A and B are shown apart, each in its own frame.
Chain A
Amino acid sequence: MSLESLTQPEAGRAAPASGKGDVVVAVRGLTKVFKDFWGRPKARAVDNVNFEVRRGEVFGLLGPNGSGKSTTVKMLLGLLYPTNGHIEVFGKSPRHVKTKAMIGYLPEESYLYRYLDSDETLDFFGNLFSIPQEQRAGRREQLLEMVGLAKARRRQVGEFSKGMQRRIGLAQALINDPDLVILDEPTAGMDPLGCREVKDLIVALARRGKTVILSSHLLADVEDVCDRVVIYYGGKIQAAGTLKDLLATPDQLRITTPILPRETIERVLEIVRKDVSEDRVRIDTPTQNLESYFLGVVQRAKQSEETSGATSGNRVAAYLRGDADAPQVRADKVLERLTLPTAAAAPEVVATVVEQKPLPNEKLQQFTRVEPTPAASPSIEKPSAEKLEKANEKLSGLLGKK
């Protein structure tokens, strides 16, 4: 691993906000004050907010309850009118009818017609976009397959569980192949499988140059997909920027390697101890996150078990996928993890070094010069827990002697 890779953007994604890409949403001095019947100010929900969203990026709106995220979203959609300030969506007012043809919206709650079934719901919204009948029928099929509701197409939306309602809500948000997708808590009420699929979909949309505005409380989901975020509190933006800029801890360095023999680890530690005190060095075994583990279990179970609930794992609708041969990115890494042999998921040793400044290059070169011992090959048997514990004790002892 080279230092440069720590800073390069991931291949295959549209350039995040670095001044490139058209401005899709522009918000200037946006303020919203809710008033009572007599016109007296009641609550300042949004206070002098400024931001831009560029084409092809995934933009996150974060903040606690009542911070102004949903109010901002509703003003972007023309459901609320600003008290002050200016909003432009695709260069026009949000209330402009033609602008709405390029927007897809998934609200926080399901506000669909309970007496319509899935098919009728998509058909109705498709008609509002003036989509011709044949195209509408094709998209309905693809979307229902994508969200896993093909078998429930004739059930009324009022009979759906919350997760199923979110899925059909997501489908209606995409019926018009929108250029701007606004998702308000898209993964709320969904199982981990559904959450993963939504995130994969967001990435797929962004890859096609679509713009996504995402409002969510689930920070892990935001972290997985967003390029830039703004954090609201009290109606004001408290922080804004790319995730990398906001989350980076520049005073630490992480090196990830396969399992190394004890002697190699001792040599590494000896070199590191010359610059860093022992109490600031941590060695542990990385773990996969719970989501990945869950997905793996379900994927294996799918081979042999039936379910009457929502199905999943279906491909993104063809008209939303666009170029199917586009470079593979994060989404497929997840899929690879679920399908490749166990050896690909071999545990690794992670050495975390607390450092005030980056290590000199010659130090790094020393690591690359060291030849891997036969014991470090991928075919090595994973050590038992007992052995690991003994090795840790010995290492602790070595560090303590110094």
Chain B
Amino acid sequence: MIQRLLAICLLTVRAAFRYRLVVVMAILLIGGVIVLPIVIKDDGTARGFTQIVLTYTLALITTLLGFVTIWLACGSMAREIEDAQMQMVAVKPIARWEIWIGKWLGILTLNAMLLGVSAAAVFVLMQWKARHLSPNEQEILQTEVLVARGEARPPEVDYKRVAEQLLQERLKTPAGKTITNVAAFRLTAQQQVKAELETVRKDYGKQWKIDLSKQMWDLKDVPMHLRLKFNVAEDNLSSQYNLEMEVGDPADGDTRVWRTGEIKLPNDVYSEITIPANVFNAKGELFIRIANRNDTAILFPLEDGITILYRQGGFLGNFSRGIAIIFCWLGFLAALGLMAASFLSFNVAAFFALGVLLVGLSSGTLKQIVEEGGITGVNHESGVTENPAFLDKIAVPVAHAFLGVLGMIKNFSPIDSLSSGRTITWSELGRAVFQIWMIMAGILMAIGIYTFTRRELATAQGTS
């Protein structure tokens, strides 16, 4: 079996080389990696440098390889069926599933080569171009980007449960009995609870508690970073806002307390502040207090408003794991293309696969459908569908299902993690392999192999 699988795998690789696809792609990828930072100049800061050299180039590589993978997968299968070459293979003692898997492995091999070469180019370019930054920015780069940092957040608050609790209490009251649109009221309640949890009013403060008990022994004498992001109720001209921060446990006399004084930070972007070592108490609890010194309220998003980042490892390992997750995505796209080509002609299969890809990238629309409860008759004041039609009753669960499926693939952000120096753990990589390959690509594989096995290859022959 291995011999047959490798024969098909090698044939697929050989075809890509003989048709010059590999050479052209290598030139495009490496050219893009080199040319992009030249064309788009960074602002001289570590952040700007990272944005262009790492984020943009990795996004370019992922996009290019993604499209080529779908094209190659569709062509490799559909064209061979149409040109009857597949008949010459199918009459040999090789099972249809072996042919399918062999082609998938061949495309993965090509992706591994191209992704490896272009990722190596990005890595080398980063190291080389980093030398041209100022010493201060280089320091920031080394401590905040070219590193693998673990993160810790305040415990998640289930605001929906809290809102539901309040809703049920309200419904029991005489005033609550007059509520006609419970769904709209529920949504409003959730938004209000969330806002209460996120908002820090003018001249008020808020405290967050982060549990570092599992990491405290590794973090002894190790400085950390506080990564925060906030929105404001009313913008000012400068987009800079005054905050006062205090980190530590004042009730614990043995714990150091660190204060920033009043500082200015921009809104709606991530800001990182270095926190000195040993500011958590003996239980590993870290207290962060932020006071609002502005004329307007500020909101810290529940999901990622406050994050503590600490060094866990080096950049090379992290970078490799990030590239491996991208490789998992490409494997999924290869399965998608091969599945489509198992029963469709080349043109239709490519169109179908690209269409699925675009739908997947448009998950924001699906999310909106779920949040609004439908696609027709959305009340723009309440933001929900007040009288769901039959179409809405179908659209919402379908969108929910799609989101659940897409989430298995999209819930990984390796490029984002690498740009912000966050650790991509081995368990995250393992989860990516399991969800993207075993489950999602596995489902496509099963569909593709089944349809390919049942297909009468001699009827698919094109006329020439």
Contacts and interface: CB of A to CB of B under 8 A. Distances in A.
Instruction: Classify chain A: how many residues form its interface, as a range.
Output: 20 to 34
B457 interface: yes
Interface in A92-132: 97-101, 103, 105, 107, 109, 111-113, 115-116, 120, 124-125, 127-130
A129 B84 contact: no
Nearest to B453: A95
A115 B7 CA distance: 15
Contacts of A172: 88
Interface of A: 34, 74, 77-81, 97-101, 103, 105, 107, 109, 111-113, 115-116, 120, 124-125, 127-130, 172
Contacts of A79: 87, 90-91, 456-458
Contacts, number: 70
B177 interface: no
26 contacts: A34-B459, A74-B458, A77-B87, A78-B90, A79-B87, A80-B459, A81-B456, A97-B94, A97-B95, A99-B93, A105-B91, A107-B84, A107-B88, A111-B87, A111-B88, A112-B88, A113-B15, A113-B85, A115-B15, A116-B14, A124-B11, A125-B88, A127-B3, A128-B4, A128-B7, A130-B3
B11 A130 contact: no
B220 to A, nearest CB: 58
Contacts of A113: 11, 15, 85
A55 to B, nearest CB: 20
A175 B404 CA distance: 50
B395 interface: no
Interface string B52-90: 000000000000000000000000000000011101111
Given A97-B95, A105-B91, A111 B84 contact: yes
B94 A111 contact: no
Given A115-B14, A115-B19, 16 more contacts: A34-B459, A77-B91, A79-B90, A79-B458, A80-B456, A80-B459, A81-B456, A98-B93, A101-B93, A111-B88, A112-B88, A113-B15, A116-B14, A127-B6, A127-B7, A129-B93
A342 to B, nearest CB: 46
B172 interface: no
B18 interface: yes
Contacts of A74: 458
Contacts of B91: 77-79, 100, 103, 105
A111 B94 CA distance: 17
Contacts of A81: 456
A99 B90 CA distance: 12
Nearest to B17: A115
Contacts of A100: 91-94
B4 A115 contact: no
Contacts of B7: 124, 127-128
Contact of B85 (A34, A78, A101, A111): A111
Interface in B1-37: 3-4, 6-7, 11, 14-15, 18-19
A100 B92 CA distance: 5
A115 B93 contact: no
A128 B94 contact: yes
A97 B96 CA distance: 9
B458 A128 contact: no
Contact of A112 (B18, B85, B94): B85
A172 B459 CA distance: 23
B282 to A, nearest CB: 66
B92 to A, nearest CB: 4
Contacts of A109: 84
B98 to A, nearest CB: 9
Contacts of B11: 113, 116, 124
A105 B18 CA distance: 26
B361 to A, nearest CB: 32
A103 B71 CA distance: 34
Contact of A128 (B15, B18, B19, B89): B89
B182 to A, nearest CB: 48
Given A111-B85, A115-B18, A128 B93 contact: yes
Contacts of B15: 113, 115
A159 to B, nearest CB: 13
Most chain B CB within a 10 A radius of its CB, from A98, A113, A120, A129: A113
Most chain A CB within a 10 A radius of its CB, from B88, B90, B458: B88
A141 B159 CA distance: 75
Contacts of B89: 128
Interface string B347-387: 00000000000000000000000000000000000000000
Nearest to B11: A124
Nearest to B2: A130
A281 to B, nearest CB: 53
